Amino acid sequence: MRIISWNVNGFRAALGKGFVDWLAGCGADVVMLQETKVEPQQLSEAELNPAGYSGVWNWSKGKKGYSGTACFCKTPPLAHSFGLEDPRYRGEGRVVHLEYPDFHLFNIYFPNGQKDEERLAYKLGFYDAFLAQAESLRGAKPIVVGGDFNTAHTEIDLKNAKANEKTSGFLPIERAWLDKFVAHGYVDTFRQFEKGPGHYSWWSFRANARAKNVGWRIDYFFVSDELKDRVKAAWIDPEVMGSDHCPVGVEIV
């Protein structure tokens, strides 16, 4: 199964920047979107369910034009659900959970912690709530999770590590959670194939950062350890434009 994840920074904006043509040519079995910023009633049937795909949409229930996730599926899942089980972390449209025969697939737009200490605490709590849910499901079948994690894990995952040590998205406490996630037996699929620096999935709109490749790798696919030998490929597509993020992908056989 070929799965692609992309924070599109506004689905309707992406539609005006070549998204439909990209989707038709990407060859994915499942496309997972984050930061869609849209509600289904604002879209046409062709936008909700693009040719060849069935759409599964989640959106913010309290704040319009905010957050949101969606999955386009060539093969319908056995089941789907929205949000995390912990009620404290529901309502912002950040999670689509699909169940397939061989694994549970999560599409997640993890919170950003830059606003203030309260929001950083919310982000860390969200991380822990997801891990608890993943571990509870993992006994039945493996886990695949992709999306915008909003944290660069190691110094090679952003261009200017030293300058961002006190910036949310690269704080020691955020990076420590990713260490904990890995210690629980979850594998960063991209790092199975590429160990070097200079590979990013997000660039600021400022200072011509993308052209200079001054970026951060904050979009990931992780698989639980029991699936790692079935990961055939994992990649980043920095040449795909249309958002401040680019798509990332994984192929599982």
Which pLDDT does position 228 carry in this prediction?
A: 98
Would you give per-residue pLDDT tens digits along the chain (253 residues)? 999 999 999 999 999 999 999 999 999 999 999 999 999 999 999 999 999 999 999 999 989 999 999 999 999 999 999 999 999 999 999 999 999 999 999 999 999 998 899 999 999 999 999 999 999 999 999 999 999 999 999 999 999 999 999 999 999 999 999 999 999 999 999 999 999 999 999 999 999 999 999 999 999 999 999 999 999 999 999 999 999 999 999 999 9
Which pLDDT does position 230 carry in this prediction?
A: 98
Residues in the chain: 253
Candidate list 116, 148, 188, 219, residue with the active-site label: 148
Which pLDDT does position 62 carry in this prediction?
A: 87
Q: Which fold has domain 2-252?
A: Deoxyribonuclease I; Chain A (3.60.10)
pLDDT in tens, 39-62: 999 999 999 999 999 999 999 998
Alpha helices (H) in the chain, listed in sequence order: 11-15, 19-25, 45-48, 117-138, 172-183, 189-193
pTM of the predicted model, to two decimals? 0.97
Which pLDDT does position 72 carry in this prediction?
A: 98
| Catalytic annotation present for 148 | yes
